[in-house]
Amino acid sequence: MNKKRCTAIVLAAGRGSRMGSGVAKQYMLLRGRPLIWYTLHAVEESSVIDDCILVTGAEDIFYVKEEIVVRYGFHKVMAVVAGGRERYDSVYNGLQAAVGKEAVQGGEDPCMPDRDGYVFIQDGARPFLTEEILERCYEAVKKDHACVAGMPVKDTIKTVDENGFARQTPDRNFMWQVQTPQVFDAQLILSAYEKLMREKERLLREGTAITDDAMVVETFTDCRVRLVEGDYRNMKVTTPEDMAVAETFLDTYGGFQEEKR
* Number of domain units in the chain: 1
Asked, for residue 220, whether it belongs to a domain, the answer is yes
* pTM exceeding the 0.85 threshold for the entire prediction: yes
Asked, for residue 1, whether it belongs to a domain, the answer is no
**Interatomic CA distance for residues 183 and 229, integer angstroms:** 13
Q: Indicate which CATH number applies to the domain containing 122.
A: 3.90.550.10
Asked, for residue 261, whether it belongs to a domain, the answer is no
Nearest alpha carbon to residue 238 among 56, 12, 19, 28: 19
Quick check: 135 and 49 in contact, CB under 8 A? Answer: no
User: Considering only 204-213, 239-248, 249-258, which range has the smallest mean pLDDT?
Assistant: 249-258
45-101 residue pLDDT tens = 999 999 999 999 999 999 999 999 999 999 999 999 999 989 999 999 999 998 875
Q: Where does the chain show beta strands of DSSP type E? A: 6-12, 29-30, 33-34, 51-56, 77-82, 118-123, 146-152, 159-160, 166-168, 176-185, 226-229
Residues in the chain: 261
Mean predicted lDDT score pLDDT of the chain: 89
Domain residue limits at 238: 6-256
Confidence band for 1, pLDDT divided at 50, 70 and 90: low
Quick check: 127 and 38 in contact, CB under 8 A? Answer: yes
Q: At what angle do helices 186-206 and 87-98 cross, to 10 degrees?
A: 150
Asked, for residue 177, whether it belongs to a domain, the answer is yes
Q: What are phi and psi of 85, to 5 degrees?
A: -65, -45
Angle at the Cα of 64 from the Cα atoms of 73 and 17, rounded to 5 degrees: 135
Nearest alpha carbon to residue 134 among 176, 97, 180: 180
Asked, for residue 224, whether it belongs to a domain, the answer is yes
Residue-wise DSSP of 71-136: HHT-TTEEEEEE--SSHHHHHHHHHHHHTTSSPPTTSPPPPPP-SSSEEEEEETT-TT--HHHHHH
Quick check: 134 and 122 in contact, CB under 8 A? Answer: no
27-51 residue pLDDT tens = 999 999 999 999 999 999 999 999 9
Query: Strands 226-229 and 146-152: what pairing?
Result: parallel
Number of CB atoms found within 10 A of residue 77's CB: 22
5-16 residue pLDDT tens = 999 999 998 765
Asked, for residue 17, whether it belongs to a domain, the answer is yes
